[in-house]
Structure 1
Amino acid sequence: MHEITVLVELIKMVETAAIENNIDEIDTVVVQIGEMSSIVPRYMMEYFPNAAEGTLLENSKLKIEMISANGLCHHCNKVFKIVKNKGKCPYCKADDWEMLSGMEFILKEIVIKETLAPE
């Protein structure tokens, strides 16, 4: 379960950015995960509260956006969804392709909590 290690590093990275920018509270951390990466989104969601405990992100939410695994067929030069088509180009049925996306793990956004100014 390397998701815990990934979460710990993600939290460190977000905390560093927050401290450098004088941010006290983080509402949401948004990450993008490629559907063919080795990271299991369900585990990320499940372990995030425990990994964030005692950190600046303790009361934050984790939002995951999935990135489709897309391939470029070497035979017909068309882009297709790899997982949906089980690794075969739906246009020419070839299985000789180059992966364009689907292995990513990206910290996309850090959403800070809005604090109302005193009147």
Structure 2
Amino acid sequence: MHEIGVLFEVVKTVEKFARENDVKKIETLVLQIGELSSVVPRYMKNLYPAAIEGSILEDSKLEIQVLPANALCKDCNKVFALIKNKGICPKCNSKNYEILGGREFFIKEIVCY
């Protein structure tokens, strides 16, 4: 479970942002996590309180937006939801695809008081 390490790095990044912008308290942190990323959203939610203890993020809320894994079928050019369709193009039943997104991990928004 590497999510705690990821969260500690996120906290460092947010604290640096806060120092540089004279922010005293964070209300909400919004993360975007791709369906294919190695980060498990449920673990992030569960570990968040421990990771933010004693930081500028203490008492803040964590919001997670899951980004879909989209793929482009190389045979028929249809863009489709990779996970939902179990890696099979719903138009032509091909398994020949290129991943377009879903591996991302972003700090999308930092809501300050």
User: Runs of 5+ in structure 2 lacking a partner?
Assistant: none
Amino acid at match of 1:41: P
Hey, what does 2:15 align to over in structure 1? 15
| Distance in 1 of aligned mates of 2:96 and 2:31 | 30
Hey, what does 2:86 align to over in structure 1? 86
Hey, what does 1:117 align to over in structure 2? none
The reply to whether residue 25 of structure 1 matches residue 25 of structure 2 is yes
Query: Larger Rg: 1 or 2?
Result: 1
Percent identity between matched residues is 55
Hey, what does 2:34 align to over in structure 1? 34
3-state SS of 2:50 partner: helix
The reply to whether residue 47 of structure 1 matches residue 47 of structure 2 is yes
Q: How big is the alpha-carbon RMSD for the aligned residues of Structure 1 and Structure 2?
A: 0.5
TM-score (norm 1): 0.93
| Distance in 1 of aligned mates of 2:18 and 2:61 | 15
| Distance in 1 of aligned mates of 2:88 and 2:58 | 43
Amino acid at match of 1:66: V
3-state SS of 1:30 partner: strand
| Distance in 2 of aligned mates of 1:49 and 1:19 | 21
Report the alpha carbon displacement of residue 36 of structure 1 after superposing the two structures with TM.
Answer: 1.3
Runs of 4 or more consecutive aligned structure 1 residues displaced over 4 Å after TM superposition:
none
3-state SS of 1:39 partner: coil
Report the alpha carbon displacement of residue 53 of structure 1 after superposing the two structures with TM.
Answer: 0.3
The superposition leaves residues 23-72 of structure 1 with CA deviations (integer Å, 9 ceiling, x where unpaired) of: 00100010100011111101100000100001111111110001000000
| Distance in 1 of aligned mates of 2:62 and 2:101 | 22
Hey, what does 1:116 align to over in structure 2? none
TM-score (norm 2): 0.98
